[in-house]
Amino acid sequence: MVKTSARLLALLSVLQTRRDWSGDELAERLDVSARTVRRDVDRLRELGYPITAFKGRDGGYRLDAGSQMPPLLFDDEQAVALAVALQAATATGAGIGEAAERALNTISQVMPARLRQRIRPLRVEAVAPPDAVPARADGSLLMALSSAVHAHE
């Protein structure tokens, strides 16, 4: 079972790296059969990951966006970049500071000690000019504005 769990995590990690993968590419990358890939994709679907299969000569699999955030896997560089970006968002206080701080705490709790040591010296402090008025915006307002811009409204 441990081997299966590790293989599922490896499959999920590979699916996150690019848009489309053929079954043969996944099988080769994971050193398993195409049948094992199909079974593992089914298991990931049962766990709530939105994986689409497409047929044809260029058929394969795609990890699509779902209705909720699934657990994600990050490599070391991605985890450090995410932590630094969240530190910056926390420091700016631009209306998302509290949510960014909660996300940073969540990530830090599961981050290996070796990565926490890498981000500790990268602490971000936002310093505004003395006469600047701090910009504050509600997170829901930012989301509404983003949606309106995206919809060309």
Domain boundaries, the chain: 2-63, 76-150
3-state DSSP assignment of residue 120:
helix
pLDDT in tens, 67-80: 667 677 788 888 88
- In terms of Cα–Cα distance, which of 55, 53, 51 is closest to 66? 51
pLDDT in tens, 80-130: 888 888 888 887 665 777 888 888 888 887 788 888 887 777 665 656 667
- Residue 78 to residues 21, 34, 134: CA-CA distances in angstroms? 21, 29, 30
pLDDT at 1: 44
pLDDT at 133: 65
| CA 40/CA 10 separation, integer angstroms | 10
The CATH class of the 2-63 domain is: mainly alpha
